[in-house]
Structure 1
Amino acid sequence: MVPGPSLNEHHLIPRTYGGRDTVTMHRVCHAKIHAVLSEAELRDHYHTIASLRAHPDIAAFLRWVSRKPPEFIDRHASGRGRRR
């Protein structure tokens, strides 16, 4: 990871559920997590890096984004959309 605008802090348990611990990750990965998973799903099932990586949609995205440069920022991403 390259320090700068391509990184974000992700709360493993959402702040709305009292989460305080964060992990640093790429902005595009952070956006994908929130586009695919609800806060309740994050709280109940996907509050570890291992469980996030095991989710089929996240795993497929990680395979795709791994071919991008470390400082990659998707300027066309809509941001906070949900699939539900």
Structure 2
Amino acid sequence: MVPGPSVNLHHLVPRTYKGTETVALHRICHAKIHMVLSEKELRDHYHTVERLREHPEIARFIRWVARKPPAFMTRHRAGRR
């Protein structure tokens, strides 16, 4: 990951559920997480980086985006929000 505008902080437990711990993620990965998972799912099941990486769709996306340049960004389809 390249520091700078391509990096976002992700709350492992969403702020709406009083989460405070954050991790730095590439913004395209951060967008994908919120597109695929609801805040309740993040709170209940995917509140660690390891658990996020285990989600089948997120894991597939990580493998795909790993082949892209560090500053790569694209638009996503509408999420589940």
TM-score band (shorter)?
A: over 0.9
Paired residues, number: 81
Partner of 1:51: 51
TM-score (ref. length: structure 2): 0.93
In 1, the alpha carbon distance for the partners of 2:79 and 2:38 equals 8
1:14 paired residue number: 14
TM-score (norm 1): 0.90
Listed as ranges, the matches of 1:1-84 within 5 Å are 1-74=1-74, 76-77=75-76, 81-83=78-80
Is the contact between residue 36 and residue 79 of structure 2 (CA under 8 Å) also seen in structure 1? Answer: yes
SS, match of residue 50 in structure 1: helix
TM-aligned CA deviation for residue 70 of structure 1: 1.2
Structure 1: runs of 5+ lacking an equivalent? none
